[in-house]
Amino acid sequence: MPGPSGLVRARQGADGGAGRPAVGRAGRGRAPYRGLPVLRSALLALPGAVVLTTACVVAPRAVDRFGRRAALLVCHFSIAAGLLLPLLTTATGGTGRHIASTVVAGLGYGISFAVVADTAVAAVPAERVGSAGAIAETSNEIGNALGIALLGSLAAPVFRLGVPGLAPTLDEALQLPGLTPSVVTDARSAFVTGLHVVAATAGLLRLVLGLLTRRRLPREDVGGGAGRELGARATAKP
């Protein structure tokens, strides 16, 4: 099985050459996973997408039964676990671990999509519900952009330090003429090292967020329709 350096296409862009998954390029005939056809690439991403969608649907019922605090803890810690799983990958293998990472993290992201915005809406008076929803969605988009930019900027110098004087990205490095097998191996290893640094950083940040949630968010009575209260409390406030 190909390793992460063989799975993820690196591309130089506005983020200064940080390697990142080319999620949107399948529609232009290029597979988001190096060396794999578009259909197989889509199948690799399918398990995580199914788990994420299912978690979105099931999350309100889980909140009803276990409460928002428990749901958010599962959200943060499952995302953290999914982000840390790529640490088990190597330059020569890791497809199964990549899929496991998307599945575990997908559970947390699904809960996040279903619960976080509703929690923000429920925390404001009825006349500010629209503003709260807009702020929550805007914060999500800003967080995605900052995460890609900052973590991508962290991965790029790690790769360059691993293969100084080569090319700024793995994709460009592997296209250089006259590469020896040892240089190719070093480039792939440097890419995976950058992936590990980013995964560890993001995973630890999520763990901290989960611990803060566990410490700061008060326990609540469950079993009384906590999930339905996410919307009801927004209209009950003056």
Residue 235 scores a pLDDT above 50: no
The model's confidence at residue 221, banded by pLDDT at 50, 70 and 90, is: low
% of the chain beyond a pLDDT of 90: 39
The model's confidence at residue 159, banded by pLDDT at 50, 70 and 90, is: very high
Predicted confidence at residue 2, as pLDDT, reads: 53
DSSP state string for 184-207: HHHHHHHHHHHHHHHHHHHHHHHH
Q: What mean pLDDT comes out for the span 163-183?
A: 88
Predicted confidence at residue 94, as pLDDT, reads: 83
Q: Please provide the average confidence, as pLDDT, over all residues in the chain.
A: 79
Give the side-chain half-sphere CA count within 13 A for 139. 11
Alpha carbon distances (Å) from 9 to 4, 14, 30, 46: 9, 16, 10, 18
Q: What mean pLDDT comes out for the span 139-158?
A: 90
Ranking 11-20, 143-152, 208-217 by mean pLDDT, the lowest is: 11-20
Question: Which tops the pLDDT comparison, 225 or 170?
Answer: 170
The model's confidence at residue 81, banded by pLDDT at 50, 70 and 90, is: very high
Q: Which two tokens stand for residue 135?
A: 């702020």
Contact 203, 80 (CB under 8 A): yes
The model's confidence at residue 234, banded by pLDDT at 50, 70 and 90, is: very low
Residue 80 scores a pLDDT above 50: yes
Residue 224 scores a pLDDT above 70: no
Ranking 2-6, 32-36, 186-190 by mean pLDDT, the lowest is: 2-6
Predicted confidence at residue 35, as pLDDT, reads: 64
User: What is the chain's alpha carbon radius of gyration, rounded to the nearest angstrom?
Assistant: 20
